[in-house]
């Protein structure tokens, strides 16, 4: 866990629970010493981020309640724009604008990016800025999108952290399964052909 993430998330209440549960010493090194790290996107993070076709995003409302939303699009719609900047074209949806309104009052956002097939998870904390209008999304609009974009969403990353893979249940998209399904299909076709050949030989012998 990098220092930048723990500095933002290990509040006094969190540290009190770590102390009570016996994990305080394990995590103390992430906030008490060492260089600042975990606030910039490296090559492993960039490759992971740009390979996603969706992520979970949490904002906080004026009533103090968190609101979690799934944001999806074609693979690669979430783009790395710099060492501390990511962005995406915000597609038109159901017009509730809950996340959009929440971010007017509090620009903080928490994101979880999942790779279920390989049991990997990246957490990102950042601050959001918007540029409204379809013209603003030209450079961010992904190939293969089938909905109009209403705004560009620019997120300045304040901290990120790779999470433990424990308890992540592997799941696979159709695209991830397709090579395996194609291979099984070929094997089934070969077995069917061999079965038909054997039937024909038996018919000739009888």
Give the separation between CA 98 and CA 60, rounded to whole angstroms: 10
How do residues 145-160 score in pLDDT, each as one tens digit? 777 788 999 999 999 9
Supply the CATH number for residue 103's domain: 2.30.110.10
Residues 116 and 190 in one domain: no
Whether residue 188 sits in one domain with residue 130: no
Give the per-residue pLDDT at 180: 85
The pLDDT score that the predictor gives to residue 26 is: 86
Low-confidence ranges of the chain (pLDDT < 70): 1, 33-36, 134
Strands 149-162 and 120-132: antiparallel
167: in domain: no
Number of domains present in the structure of the chain: 3
* pLDDT (0 to 100) of residue 139: 83
Within this chain, do residues 93 and 7 fall inside the same structural domain, yes or no?
no
Which H/E stretch holds residue 35? none
Predicted pLDDT at 56: 97
Domain extent at residue 84: 38-162
User: For position 34, what pLDDT does the model report?
Assistant: 59
What confidence tens digit (pLDDT) does each residue in 68-91 have?
999 988 999 999 999 999 999 988
Q: What is the CA radius of gyration of the chain?
A: 24
Position 127 in a domain: yes
Model confidence, pTM: 0.84
- The DSSP output letter for 134 is G
């Amino acid at each position: 866990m990098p220092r930048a993430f723990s500095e933002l998330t290990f509040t006094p209440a969190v540290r009190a629970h770590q102390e009570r549960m016996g994990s305080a010493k394990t995590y103390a090194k992430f906030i008490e010493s060492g260089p600042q790290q975990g606030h910039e996107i490296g090559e492993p993070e960039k490759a992971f981020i740009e390979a996603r076709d969706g992520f979970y995003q949490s904002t906080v409302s004026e009533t103090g309640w968190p609101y979690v939303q799934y944001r999806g699009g074609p693979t690669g719609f979430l783009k790395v724009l710099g060492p501390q900047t990511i962005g995406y074209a915000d597609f038109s949806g159901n017009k509730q604008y809950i996340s959009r309104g929440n971010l007017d009052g509090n620009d903080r956002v928490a994101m979880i990016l999942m790779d279920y097939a390989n049991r990997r998870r990246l957490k990102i904390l950042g601050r959001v800025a918007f540029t409204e209008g379809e013209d603003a999304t030209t450079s961010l609009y992904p190939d293969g999108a089938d909905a109009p974009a209403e705004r560009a969403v620019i997120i300045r990353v304040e901290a990120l952290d790779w999470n433990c893979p424990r308890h992540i249940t592997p799941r696979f998209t159709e695209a991830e399964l397709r090579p395996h399904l194609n291979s099984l299909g070929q094997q089934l076709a070969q077995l069917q052909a061999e079965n038909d050949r054997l039937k024909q030989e038996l018919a000739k012998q009888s």
